[in-house]
Amino acid sequence: MISKNNKLTKFTIFILFLVLSMLVFSFAEEKNDPEAEKIVKKMESIINLENTDVTAEMIFLQQKSGEPDKLFKSRYYRRDKDNAFVIIFLEPDSEKGKGYLRIDDNLYMYMPATREFIHKNRKENVGSTDAKAEDFESKKTLDLYYVKKLPNAIVDKTDCFVIELKAKQMDVSYPIQKWYIRTSDYILMKQEAFSLSGTLMQVSYYVKYMPIKGGKFFMTKFMTEDKIEGSRTWVTVDEKTISFAKIPDYVFTKAFLEQQSKQ
């Protein structure tokens, strides 16, 4: 017998799917603003690292008013040319061995306690933090959003292009976003995420980038604030651990995650 709660849950999921489908349909007549498209492409050409792999250790600091801070340590592997990344949690013990594998259009979370892989999407939070899976992958903005340029704004005393994004498909964290891109070098400084009704849901600040070869920049610190829950997550890459050496192909596999969880 199907319980009343299960029926309600299925009905809620159906309604959510219907609303999101209507959202994508409502944006179907949107077109890209050529100037906004040019700015976004320039930004992506700087922060996407298609010519190098990256390995590093990352610290997640989760903060919420009235609760003790939570610290998570992880190892991060990234290969933009294959749209791939791996995150493996090292600390605390309650999270140790949990991992994420992004390869092509698939995202999996590995649960060492049950030895199972769960299919996820870029909307998902990483671990028990406010960071999203999409924060750690290469950006393919124009595949996911229509873009439009708004009047410039000042962020941290710096002139920024303001780009409005509206979702083309449902596999996105939020249907509407605003990006603040520094006019001097096309670096993303701030991101605001909104619900369909226009409620501000999340704000992210991209605090620090490391310049690397080829005129590229690798982001090493950002903060994401959940405006609904009143929590925030700081993500910091330990710059001493960064390597741009080629990563073995085996790393970007489920077998590698399973192996690492046993160590």
pLDDT confidence tier of residue 205, bands split at 50, 70 and 90: very high
| H/E stretch holding 158 | strand 158-167
> In this structure, are residues 85 and 77 in contact, taking their beta carbons and an 8 Å threshold?
yes
- Give me the sign of the Cα torsion angle 77, 78, 82, 88: positive
Question: Given a cut of 80, is residue 103 above it in pLDDT?
Answer: yes
Q: pTM score, two decimals? A: 0.85
| pLDDT tens by residue, 52-90 | 999 999 999 999 988 999 999 999 999 999 999 999 999
pLDDT of residue 120: 87
pLDDT at 13 over 50: no
Say which CATH architecture domain 31-261 belongs to: Clam (2.50)
Provide the pairing of β-strand 70-79 with 106-111: unpaired
Q: Residue 43 in 3-state DSSP?
A: helix
In the chain, where the domains are located? 31-261
Angle at 159 between CA 184 and CA 49, to 5 degrees: 45
- Which tokens sit at 26? 């409502």
Strand 70-79 versus strand 53-64 pairing type? antiparallel
Q: Give the type of residue at 197.
A: S
Q: Which residues pair with 57 in a beta bridge?
A: 75
Helices (H), the chain: 4-26, 34-47, 141-144, 254-261
Q: Which of 8-17, 116-125, 221-230 is predicted least confidently?
A: 8-17
Instruction: Please identify which residue in the block is written with the tokens 């092509």.
Output: 104
List, for residues 207-245, the tens digit of each pLDDT value: 999 999 899 999 999 999 999 999 999 999 999 999 999
